[in-house]
Amino acid sequence: GNIGPALLDVLGQALDEETRADQMAQAAEGADRAQAEPTVTEAPTSRTEVREPEPQPGPEPVTAQEREPVHEAVEDEEYGPAPIEPPAPPPPEPPHLPQVWVLELSSFQLDGAAGGAWDDVPTASTVLNISEDHLDWHGSMDAYARAKSAVFGAQALMLLNRDDERVMAWRPANVTVKVGGRNRQRPQRPFMTFGLDEPTRDGDWGLETVNGMTWLVRARLMDETLQRGRRAEEEAELYLQRLMPADALRIRGRHNAANALAALAMASSAGAPLAPMLHGLREYRGEPHRVEPVAIIDDVEYFDDSKGTNVGATLAAVLGLGAERPLVMILGGDGKGQDFGPLAAPLVRHARAVLLIGRDAPLLREQVGPSLAEAGIPVQDAHDLPQAVRAAAGLARAGDAVLMSPACASLDMFDSYVHRARVFVETVRELALERGGVLEGGS
C-alpha cells in the first residue's frame, strides 16, 4: 500500500494558502502604487534626432521630419514636455517553489540507490508497509525490502509503522553516548513511529479510544524540561495530545487513519504547524480508486479499490473497511508471483463471500479457499468483472459492503487499473439504475 503524495499535497496546499494570499495582495498593492505615482520617462533612443536648421532668409524653415510646408506658426507651448507615461508592468513573478518536496518513490526507483547520492537527500522518510509485490522483478522478499529501505538514506528521520513487523525490523539500534560525563543509550539515528494503538514513546503517533470515540493522538512529555534535567534517564510521564476524531476524516477505514497519522508525522518533521494540517485532513476526500465509495444500492455500499494491486494494499482495505461491516470481496487478476496466504485469516474474519476473476483466480482459490471453506464462506468464480459485480450484489445483505480490491495487477483483463475501475463503476451504476440506488461518485 502507499499513501501517495496527494494527501501530503493537500496539507501543503493548506499551508500555502495564506502565503499565496499575502503575495497576491503585495503584487496588487505594487501595481496600484505604480499607477498612482507616474514617472517621467526619457524619449526612446531609437528615434531620429531632429536638428534645428540654420536660419535662412526667405520662407519659414522646415524640419527634416516635415513633408509639407507649414503655413501657420506653431507656439512653443503646443510641444510641451515629454509625455508622462506609467512604467511598464512588473515582470511576472518566478514560479512558486515549495519549501518542502514530497516524493513518492517506487522500489524500482530505489533499487541500487543505497550508498549513492540519494543518501544525503531526504529529511524524513517512511515505508508504510512491506508486503509481497514486484517479486517478478526483485526476485525475493529480501531484495524487495532492501530496495524499499533505501528511501531512508543515511541520515533522514525514519518514520516506522508499529503494526508492520518487517518495517519495525529497521528500528535503529541503541548506541552508548556520553551525556554529562555519563554513558547513555540513544538511538543510532532519529526515528518516530505511528500505528493503530496508543503510542508509548515521546513524539510517536497513534489512536486512542475514549468513551467510544477514537482520536488521532500524539504522545508528548508531561514535563518538557525533564529530558534536559538530571532525571532525564528516569521514566518520563507522557500524555496523549488529542488532535482530531478519526470519524472527522472523510476517507474511510482504519488504514486511512494510519495514513493520516503518517502524513501528519512527515509534515510535522518538516516544520509544518498542526492547525492548518488538521484542517487539510478534514477536507481531504481521498484518491480515485482507493477504497472510493461508488453507490449505495439496497443498503449495500459499493467501493472501488482498483488501486489495490498487491496483497498489502488489499489487506489494508479489508482490515480498515471490514472493521465496520461484513464484506463481499472481488479478488483476482495478474498476481505477479505473490503469496496470497496472508489474506486468508482477514477474509475469514471480515468476508461474507468472495468472488474470483482473472488469470490467477485458481491460485487464489488454492491459497485462501481452504480457510474460507472451513469457515463456511462461499467462494465463486466469475468469467468477467460485470458478472462478479452482479453476483456480489446477490450475495450481499443490507449493511454489507461490496469491495473490489483485487490484490492483483489488471493487465490480464484490462488496459490498466483505471480501466478496471471504470468497468466496475459502470456495472454498479447499471445496478443502481435498475434498483433505484444512490450514486456517490466514482470515475
pLDDT in tens, 230-244: 454 456 799 999 999
Closest by CA to 127, choosing from 111, 150, 143, 108, is: 150
Does 64 have pLDDT greater than 50?
Answer: no
Closest by CA to 279, choosing from 255, 249, 259, 241, is: 249
Three-class secondary structure of residue 356 per DSSP: strand
What pLDDT shows up at residue 67?
44
Residues belonging to the chain = 443
25 against 430, higher pLDDT: 430
| 364/410 same-domain check | yes
| 174/314 same-domain check | no
Its pTM stands at 0.72
What pLDDT shows up at residue 274?
96
| Strand residues in 259-307 grouped as ranges (E) | 292-297, 300-304
| 265/380 same-domain check | no
Query: Contact 277/264 with Cβ under 8 angstroms?
Result: yes
Domain count of the fold of the chain? 2
Residue 73 lies in a domain: no
Give the CATH number, domain containing residue 304.
3.90.190.20
| 341/364 same-domain check | yes
305 against 26, higher pLDDT: 305
What mean pLDDT is predicted for residues 319-346?
96
What pLDDT shows up at residue 437?
79
Residue 335 lies in a domain: yes
User: Cβ of 25: how many Cβ atoms within 10 Å?
Assistant: 10
What mean pLDDT is predicted for residues 29-34?
52
Q: How far apart are CA 110 and CA 114, in angstroms?
A: 8
Residue 331 lies in a domain: yes
CA dihedral 413→415→417→418, nearest 10 degrees, is -130
Does 77 have pLDDT greater than 80?
Answer: no
Residue 87 lies in a domain: no
76 pLDDT tier (thresholds 50, 70, 90)? very low
| 255/402 same-domain check | no
Does 131 have pLDDT greater than 70?
Answer: yes
| 156/270 same-domain check | yes
Question: H helices within 297-410, ranges in order?
Answer: 311-322, 344-350, 361-374, 385-395
**Domain span including residue 130:** 6-15+99-190+251-283
What pLDDT shows up at residue 98?
85
What mean pLDDT is predicted for residues 382-395?
98
| 299/328 same-domain check | yes
Does 442 have pLDDT greater than 50?
Answer: no
**What nine digits make up the cell of 93?**
513573478
| 278/424 same-domain check | no
Residue 93 lies in a domain: no
